Structure 1
C-alpha cells in the first residue's frame, strides 16, 4: 500500500510539478474548489466544508494553498484574503482531522522567505532570526503558526515549514513576467536594482518537498533558497545574457512601481539574503545552485 499524500493548492505550479515527482511512490490526492479528476476532492473555505473522504488513510498533508501575493493590489479586502487563504484553510484541515481522530506522519506547509521582513540589508538571515514587522512578515508568521497548531494539538508527528524564495519557472511567476520586456529589448532592473532577490529553481523547490516527505528527522523551518545570492539587477542581466538580448534601458523608477502596485511595490523594491546552510546541513543537495545554470535549464530547453 502506498502512503497517501494530500496536497492543497492543486492549481499551483509547485503542486502540479510535485505530483509528477512523487506520483510513483505515493498515492497523491488534491484538495480543490472544483473536482475535475478522480484524485481531486472539493473544499470550500468560505462555507467551511471539505470532502472528508479526502482524508481517509492519509499519512501526509502538503499545504500549498494560498492566494497569489503579487496578483492584485493590496486593498484591505485583499490583505484579508491573503491571510485567510493560508490560515483558514489550515484551520479547516486541522478541525476535520481532529473530528475524524486522524494523526498525520507529517504536515508540510509552504511558507515565505519574507518571514524576515521586506527590507534591503547586508544581513544574511538564518531560520532562528526573528520575523520582520511589515505586512508580508505578518502573513508568514500567521501561516507558520497555523502549521504549528497541528503539532500542538497532536495531529501530526512532525511539522515542516518551507520558507520559499522566488520560484524560477518559465511557466509562471516572476521569471515569466520578466521575460517579455527583455525579449523585446526593453528590459531593465526595478528601482535601484540593488535589492536582493532570493530565488530557487522550480525543480529544487519540488525536490525539497520530496525530501521533507521522505525524511522523518526533517522538521521545523527551512529557508528554501538557492545558495547563490542575486540582486534584481543580477537576475535581469543574467536573463538577458541567456536570451542574448541587450540591456540599455534605464531602471524602472521606484515611484512608477508604487503608482502601479501601491504597497505591494515594497515587496518588489526591497529584499535581503537568506542562508540555505541549514537545509544543506540536513542533507539536501541543490541541482541548480548557480543562477546562470538555472536560467539556462529553463530558457534553453529547445536548443
Structure 2
C-alpha cells in the first residue's frame, strides 16, 4: 500500500510513518519546506504551498490513501490573526487536496483526516461517543466543526472518508507532556482549577496505531483517538509526580491566573471532555497503553 501523508514531519506524522513502514507501506509526504524533502525507496517528499495553491502532482503517483494531519498548532496565543491562521491552515490544505483529486487522475480510495475532541462540549458528567451531535460553542468547537465539514466534502469524490478525533497526545519530547513535566520536576507542579476536568489522553504509539488501524481496516466516519480510561487533571498531575518521584504541595492554579497569562487559550487547560474509545476497540484495535501510569512510565522512565 502507498500512503500520502500531510504533516508527516510533525509529532503524529512521524509516529504514523514509522508504523506504516513496519507494515511495509510506502509513504509519500507533502511539506512546505523544501529542506525537508527526502527521497528513499519507501519515503518520498514532495513540495506544496496551500496558501499559494501549489502542489507537486507527483505526490499522488500510485497512492491508495491520504492521511491529512496539516494545520497550524493551537499552542500559540490566540490573537484574532492567529485564530484565522488556525482555521485557514486546516481548510486551505483540505481544499487544495480535494481540488487536486478532482482535477487529476488518481488512485486514491480513502481519505483520513485528523480532527479533535475539542468538538465535544465542556462537561464534567457527559461521556462522549462518536455519534454525539452536540458541538462545543468554544473557538475550538467552531474550528473542529468546520474542519470536519470540509473533510466530509471528499465524499463527493466517491472515496471512503474517515476522521480521527485526537485527545491529549502523550509523547516524551513534544506536545503537552514536557510542559506538564517541567514544573513537577522542580516540585512546583499543581492541578489547574478544580482539577476535576477530564483529560482524554492517548500515548503517541497508540494514536499512530489508531490511524493505521483506520486505514487498514477501512473504518468509516468518526473514530475517537483516545485511550480507554480518561482521567481527571488532578489524577494526571499526581501520576506524573508519582512516576517522577516528586512531591506536590502547591495549591491548585486558579483559572483567572492562567487567563491572564495565556489569554483565551487558557481553555485548553480547563475544558473537560470525557471521551469513549469504544468504537475503535469494538472494531478490533488493541491498545498498548490502557492506563495512564504504564503510559507515563514508558515515556518518562
Which of 41, 44, 69 is residue 49 of structure 2 equivalent to? Answer: 44
SS in structure 2 at match of 1:273: coil
Matches within 5 A, 1:98-137: 98-117=102-121, 119-130=122-133, 131-137=135-141
| Alpha-carbon distance in structure 2 between the residues aligned to 1:66 and 1:236 | 28
Say whether the 8 Å CA contact 2:5–2:69 is kept in structure 1. Answer: yes
SS in structure 2 at match of 1:186: coil
Say whether the 8 Å CA contact 2:4–2:67 is kept in structure 1. Answer: yes
Tell me the equivalent position of 1:16.
Answer: 14
Matches within 5 A, 1:190-201: 190-201=192-203
Matches within 5 A, 1:18-37: 18-24=16-22, 25-35=24-34, 36=36, 37=38
Matches within 5 A, 1:137-286: 137-154=141-158, 156=159, 158-216=160-218, 218-286=219-287
Say whether the 8 Å CA contact 2:8–2:17 is kept in structure 1. Answer: no
Which of 57, 61, 72 is residue 56 of structure 1 equivalent to? Answer: 61
Tell me the equivalent position of 1:78.
Answer: 82
Report Cα offsets for 1:19-66 as digits up to 9, x if no partner: 111114111011001133121111112111111111111111000111
Q: 1:137 to 1:103 in 2, by over 3 A?
A: farther
| Alpha-carbon distance in structure 1 between the residues aligned to 2:183 and 2:268 | 20
Scaled by the length of structure 1, the TM-score of the pair is: 0.94
Tell me the equivalent position of 1:290.
Answer: 291
| Alpha-carbon distance in structure 2 between the residues aligned to 1:84 and 1:10 | 19
Tell me the number of residue pairs that the alignment of Structure 1 and Structure 2 aligns. 293
Say whether the 8 Å CA contact 2:117–2:273 is kept in structure 1. Answer: no
| Mean CA deviation greater in 255-264 or 21-30 | 21-30
SS in structure 2 at match of 1:136: helix
**By how many angstroms is 1:10 displaced?**
2.5
| Alpha-carbon distance in structure 1 between the residues aligned to 2:112 and 2:139 | 23
SS in structure 2 at match of 1:40: strand
Q: Which runs of 5+ in 1 are unaligned?
A: none
Say whether the 8 Å CA contact 2:68–2:114 is kept in structure 1. Answer: yes
Say whether the 8 Å CA contact 1:97–1:103 is kept in structure 2. Answer: no
Runs of 4+ in structure 1 off by over 3 angstroms are: none
Scaled by the length of structure 2, the TM-score of the pair is: 0.95
Q: Which runs of 5+ in 2 are unaligned?
A: none
